[in-house]
A and B are shown apart, each in its own frame.
Chain A
């Protein structure tokens, strides 16, 4: 235990990196979710097809393979990404594909009459989504987004394999330097658990805030 305390600054830096990586890729994933999810509902077949190709590509190949592809293959074409950027892009693109399904599902489950009412009021497509459909769909998305955020946090551990010094990487350093195994791994498992629990608490808080005074049925978990 003393050894782990001695290495506490390392674990702290790892925690900061993990949280930064999670939040940055969550932001990217959120943008991609909406862009791809909305593209799936486009009236143009080509746009819908592009969205499906994106979805199947990032959902169908393993996250680790995507990460290695970005880190090792892109430089061969002259695209050099620093590890942290490759990590953010890989995690964000991967989770964005899952998120796009959440966005599409939620938008499709908004009552049909709402679409019709917006059209009857002569709203443009932009206005229809911006003022009628998306605000009603967001409370339905939140529980799934909460689950995906935890998946994202867990996915960031994989980026330690491309030398990003996150929590998992730090635990390997401590293992290599002290030959201890139980302590560093147990310590980071507990830290990951605490981060997830805080994130879940935060998402639940946002869920309560957004569903206050609404008659929406918020589905629990997945």
Chain B
């Protein structure tokens, strides 16, 4: 099987358009994952045992089942219940929901790792709850969270091809559609792999640098 540059040039614009959708899905999905993850972390730390227990197990249920099936669930089941979502919206919600169970652990660990003495010091200085969080807890909790959160961003980027299964035309699906209609598999699939490497290797290197930067500070 010979590599054909004309096929590569032919498929390139479609892949570029797909890459934009992939990046959008990653960023919006990550935003959903971070916001939901923080909410989930707070619920898991709730003093009410029922709230803590049910949020822990619902998060475990999502975490222990495949993202692909969750995407099918959002895409096929919700319309039957009268909720119609665009494929992209369903994909982003699924991606964000799935990874919020991972990010919630990062948030929980980050908050719990602030030593108890810090809370007590804030209280003895007569800080209000808002002041305690704003000036004492969050400035110490956030920096160690950044590297793992960045790593999940990269993981989510690599999971976006699953959105192809619910008809989102992102990078992988753009190549797959082209492959199936032209019966050329080598060039599109190789290029998709290359695109992923081109984004994820520098991103991973950046994440390692972030990790080192924040470790020095700590």
CB pair A60 B200 closer than 8 Å: yes
CB pair B189 A193 closer than 8 Å: no
Tell me whether chain B's interface is mostly helix, strand or loop, or mixed.
helix
> Which chain A positions have C-beta within 8 A of B192?
62, 65
CB pair B69 A185 closer than 8 Å: yes
Does A4 reach chain B (CB closer than 8 Å)? no
Does B104 reach chain A (CB closer than 8 Å)? no
**A–B pairs, 20, beta carbons within 8 Å:** A56-B204, A60-B197, A64-B164, A66-B193, A72-B189, A154-B65, A154-B67, A155-B66, A156-B66, A157-B66, A157-B67, A157-B68, A160-B68, A172-B72, A182-B77, A185-B77, A189-B61, A189-B69, A192-B65, A192-B66
Q: Mark A63-91, 1 if CB is under 8 A from B, else 0.
A: 11110110011001100000000000000
The answer to whether A73 and B64 touch (CB under 8 A), given A62-B196, A185-B69, A185-B72, is no
> Which chain B positions have C-beta within 8 A of A156?
66
CB pair A193 B105 closer than 8 Å: no
The answer to whether A189 and B65 touch (CB under 8 A), given A72-B179, A73-B189, is yes
How distant is the Cα of A96 from the Cα of B10 in the complex, in angstroms?
A: 34
How distant is the Cα of A190 from the Cα of B64 in the complex, in angstroms?
A: 10
Q: How far is the CB of A7 from chain B (nearest CB, A)?
A: 16
Q: How far is the CB of A21 from chain B (nearest CB, A)?
A: 12
Q: Identify B189's interface contact among A56, A69, A154, A158, CB under 8 A.
A: A69
Does A161 reach chain B (CB closer than 8 Å)? yes
How distant is the Cα of A157 from the Cα of B204 in the complex, in angstroms?
A: 26
Q: How far is the CB of A13 from chain B (nearest CB, A)?
A: 17
The 10 closest A-B CB pairs, nearest first, are: A157-B66, A196-B64, A76-B1, A64-B161, A154-B66, A72-B185, A60-B200, A181-B76, A192-B65, A61-B196
Residue among B76, B159, B179 with the highest chain A CB neighbour number at 10 A? B76
Does B14 reach chain A (CB closer than 8 Å)? no
How distant is the Cα of A154 from the Cα of B189 in the complex, in angstroms?
A: 23
CB pair A192 B69 closer than 8 Å: yes
Given known contacts A62-B160, A154-B65, A175-B76, what 12 new A-B pairs fall within 8 Å (CB)?
A: A60-B158, A61-B193, A65-B192, A68-B172, A72-B179, A73-B186, A77-B1, A154-B67, A168-B68, A172-B72, A192-B65, A196-B65
Q: How far is the CB of A138 from chain B (nearest CB, A)?
A: 24
Q: How far is the CB of A211 from chain B (nearest CB, A)?
A: 22
Query: Interface residues, chain B, CB within 8 Å of chain A?
Result: 1, 61, 63-70, 72-73, 76-77, 79-81, 105, 158-162, 164-165, 172, 176, 179, 185-186, 189-190, 192-193, 196-197, 200-201, 204
> Which chain B positions have C-beta within 8 A of A62?
158-161, 172, 192, 196
Does A150 reach chain B (CB closer than 8 Å)? yes
CB pair A189 B164 closer than 8 Å: no
CB pair B172 A64 closer than 8 Å: yes
The answer to whether A193 and B61 touch (CB under 8 A), given A62-B161, A62-B172, A181-B77, is yes
Q: How far is the CB of B95 from chain A (nearest CB, A)?
A: 13
Q: How far is the CB of B80 from chain A (nearest CB, A)?
A: 5
> Which chain B positions have C-beta within 8 A of A185?
69, 72-73, 76-77
CB pair B72 A171 closer than 8 Å: yes
Q: How far is the CB of A185 from chain B (nearest CB, A)?
A: 5
How distant is the Cα of A78 from the Cα of B172 in the complex, in angstroms?
A: 24
How distant is the Cα of A156 from the Cα of B113 in the complex, in angstroms?
A: 35
Q: Identify A188's interface contact among B69, B159, B186, CB under 8 A.
A: B69
Closest-by-CB residue of B relative to A57 is: B197
